[in-house]
Each structure stands twice: as C-alpha cells, then as structure tokens.
Amino acid sequence: MRIADAQWIPSTQHQTWDALTDPAVLQRCIPGCIAVDKRSDTEYAVTLRAKIAGLDTDYEGEILLSDVNPPDSCTLVFEGKGRAACLAIGTAQVNLSTKDQGTRVAYTVAGMTGGKLAECGEGLVLKAGEKIIEKFFAAFIDYMAAQPRLAPPPPPPEPEPRGLSNSRWSWIMVVLVIAVFWGYHTFYK
C-alpha cells in the first residue's frame, strides 16, 4: 500500500511542526485514537480503535521518528498490532514547507498489513488508510485554524567565536610564554 499527497495547513511552519509532534494534538486529531504517549523525543506509544473492512478492533502501536530535521522533515516508522490478529506496519516521509502564508505538509506513506487485515485485500485497506488520513487532516486543519498565529522563534544566537584572535589576554599569554622560553634559552643556556 502506498499513499502520497500534500495538505495545506493554515498555520506557520514551526507551529505546524510543534502540533504534529504534540501527543495531545495527535490524540485529538487521529480518528479513533484512545491515547498517545510520548516516551521520548522520537518515540510515541499509540492506542486506537479502528474499523477497517468490517474488523472493529483496538490497535496498540509505536511510532518512531528518524531523520528528524525540525521544522522541515522527518521519517516515521509505525507498527500496530490488533487484538483480532491484525498487523499494520510501515513508514511515512513527511516534509513541511512554507506556502501561501501557511504550511504545505507533503507525505508519502508505505505500509503493509498482516493477519486478518491482509485477507481483506490491498484495495480495501488502501481505501481505509486514505479515509483515516483524510479524517486526520480535516481535524488537524480545523484545530490549527483555531490557533493564534505566532511568529517563528528567533534563531539561536551565534556561538561566540573562539581562538586567540578574540581575546587580548590570550595574546598576552602567548607573548609571555614566548618571552619566558626565549629568556630561559638566552640567559640560562
């Protein structure tokens, strides 16, 4: 199964990124989501209830983020296991960019199913996946449209350059050391 598309979000890029990585926002917007727990900056535990191809079951899963480049892109790896011997695994590449005073979220999802879910056929699972993504973005866009726009955070300050050229005392120490060595070799040798 492969799904590729893009959505326009009525919010700044950094706000969109922050919301996409906020467990409370994810829980609110993912259809049938029961819980999203952030275990670390790159790992989430997810519990959701979904009815796909007549199979109504709870899924326990994990989402792992890699190649994280905030607020521009990341790769997601996900795995979900259902109580009715169902399995869904896959990856998603997510890219954010500023567009028309909002954010364009482009994504490519590749997934596989196993167990009873796989027996339903790829076409049915693909339609169900597209419907879940569509419902997620509808809820996410509504949520982001209700949020006040915030200016992007200022860039981090430039680190203070280091080295001898930046400190008068460093040069004085170098000259002093050279003078001591020169004096030692001149007067005591």
For the ranges 43-52, 85-94, 167-176, the lowest mean pLDDT is seen at: 167-176
pLDDT computed for residue 169 by the predictor: 65
pLDDT value at 67 more than 80:
yes
How far is the first Cα of the chain from the last one, in angstroms, to the nearest whole number? 82
pLDDT value at 161 more than 70:
no
pLDDT value at 54 more than 60:
yes
What's the rounded Cα separation, in Å, for the pair 60 and 43?
Answer: 14
pLDDT computed for residue 178 by the predictor: 77
What is the rounded average pLDDT for all residues in the chain?
87
* Model pTM score: 0.78
Give 54-101 as a DSSP string: TEEEEEEEEEEEEEEETTTEEEEEEEEEETTTEEEEEEEEEEEEEETT
Quick check: 59 and 86 in contact, CB under 8 A?
yes
Confidence of residue 162 (pLDDT cuts 50, 70, 90): low
Residue 67's nearest CA partner among 36, 93, 46, 45 is: 93
CATH number of 2-146: 3.30.530.20
Quick check: 103 and 9 in contact, CB under 8 A?
yes
pLDDT computed for residue 164 by the predictor: 52
pLDDT tens, position by position, 92-134: 999 999 999 999 999 999 999 888 777 878 888 888 889 999 9
